[in-house]
Amino acid sequence: MGKHAVVIGASMGGLLAARALADHYERVTVLERDTFPAMGEHRKGVPQGRHAHSLLSIGREVLEELFPGFSQEVVAQGGVKSLYASRPLLEGHVRQRVLALPNLRAIERCDVLGLTTDGQKERVTGVRLAQRESGVEQLLGAELVVDASALIDSPWSIVVGRDLRLKEVEGKRSATSHFVNWYLGKLPRAARHDPAVAMAFGKVVNFRDRPKSLLHPRVLWRVLQGNLFPPRAAAAEPRLQKA
């Protein structure tokens, strides 16, 4: 068993990572930049946090395995049996269970300034953090550091960027958002003709890979190539004429 693991970010991803690590490390520390809200209250910085959320069956199975009786708790607090509930309610129950672990502690209202490494810069040895109120910096050593602070950055940027296609939506339209919107418009067309693009696209749609994998140079080139030089339609076979 390891000595100490650090998780940066106390979102659903960070909390579940901390729960998994608690079985394999003597101590787990979760670092969060904001203050934990009360059960059922919205947390600052959560995109679409006020929308209702529904868990897929695999998600429900994982939560039940990590937190036995989780579904019953959520339903008792107003969720539907299929675990159709608000994000604050789901996350609140996960956070409550995680923070109750005897070998876990959470540090709220702190900013992670960077990672620390060994002399050869070959291995991460911990994190540098600062308390928001006092500004006092602190070094926190760890055998493992999990960065769960930006798990949704790519998909969220894509969603917001797609909204900016509409003229009535306010917001800055950068060169990046213009390119991403253009590229996402070409991607399905390339996937219809290129099996490699179709496979990459399918992995993202089915949550088996991250959205930014679609911008890998190999996929990017195939999409651009497929749109610059689209495959020719197959020539129609000549019909036999009756004598």
Q: What pLDDT, on a 0 to 100 scale, did the predictor assign at position 50?
A: 64
β-strands 52-54, 137-141 pairing: unpaired
Q: What pLDDT, on a 0 to 100 scale, did the predictor assign at position 208?
A: 78
Are 50 and 66 in the same domain? yes
SS3 (DSSP) at 127: strand
- The tokens describing 65, both together, are 């395995």
What is the average per-residue pLDDT within 129-140?
A: 91
For 38-71, the pLDDT digits (tens) are 877 777 666 566 666 677 778 888 888 999 988 8
Q: What pLDDT, on a 0 to 100 scale, did the predictor assign at position 173?
A: 67
Are 162 and 70 in the same domain? no
Range in 12-16, 163-167, 209-213 with the lowest mean pLDDT: 163-167
- The tokens describing 151, both together, are 């798990």
For residue 242, being part of any structural domain is answered with no
Are 93 and 188 in the same domain? no
For residue 121, being part of any structural domain is answered with yes
The phi, psi pair for 190, rounded to 5°, reads: -65, -35
Are 118 and 25 in the same domain? yes
For residue 238, being part of any structural domain is answered with no
For residue 237, being part of any structural domain is answered with no
Are 19 and 126 in the same domain? yes
Containing 115, the helix (H) or strand (E) segment is strand 110-117
The whole-angstrom separation of Cα 207 and Cα 205 is 6
What is the average per-residue pLDDT within 124-146?
A: 92
Of all residues in the chain, the percent with pLDDT exceeding 90 is 28
- The tokens describing 92, both together, are 């609140």
Res. 151: pLDDT tops 60: no
Containing 93, the helix (H) or strand (E) segment is helix 87-99
What CATH number is given to the structural domain containing 79? 3.50.50.60
For residue 235, being part of any structural domain is answered with no
Domain that holds residue 39: 2-147
Are 192 and 110 in the same domain? no
| Helices 195-205 and 175-193: angle between axes, nearest 10 degrees | 120
Whether 30 and 14 have beta carbons less than 8 Å apart is answered as yes
Of 147, 164, 191, at which residue does a domain stop? 147
Are 62 and 125 in the same domain? yes
Are 164 and 122 in the same domain? no
Can you give the length of the chain in residues? 243
Res. 168: pLDDT tops 70: no
For residue 163, being part of any structural domain is answered with yes
Are 157 and 140 in the same domain? no
Of 113, 147, 181, at which residue does a domain stop? 147
Q: How confident is the model at residue 26 (pLDDT cuts 50, 70, 90)?
A: very high
More confident residue, 234 or 189: 189
What is the average per-residue pLDDT within 108-116?
A: 91
Are 126 and 69 in the same domain? yes
Q: Can you give 159-180 as a three-state secondary structure string? A: HHHHHCCCCCCCCCCCHHHHHH
For residue 173, being part of any structural domain is answered with yes
For residue 239, being part of any structural domain is answered with no
- The tokens describing 199, both together, are 């496979």
Are 24 and 139 in the same domain? yes
In the chain, the number of structural domains is 2
Closest CA relative to residue 132, chosen from 159, 156, 162, 112:
112
Range in 67-71, 113-117, 182-186, 237-241 with the lowest mean pLDDT: 237-241
Q: What pLDDT, on a 0 to 100 scale, did the predictor assign at position 172?
A: 64
Are 121 and 101 in the same domain? yes
Q: Output DSSP code: residue 207.
A: T
What is the average per-residue pLDDT within 10-14?
A: 88
The whole-angstrom separation of Cα 11 and Cα 9 is 6
Of 147, 168, 185, at which residue does a domain stop? 147
Q: What pLDDT, on a 0 to 100 scale, did the predictor assign at position 141?
A: 95
Whether 148 and 11 have beta carbons less than 8 Å apart is answered as yes
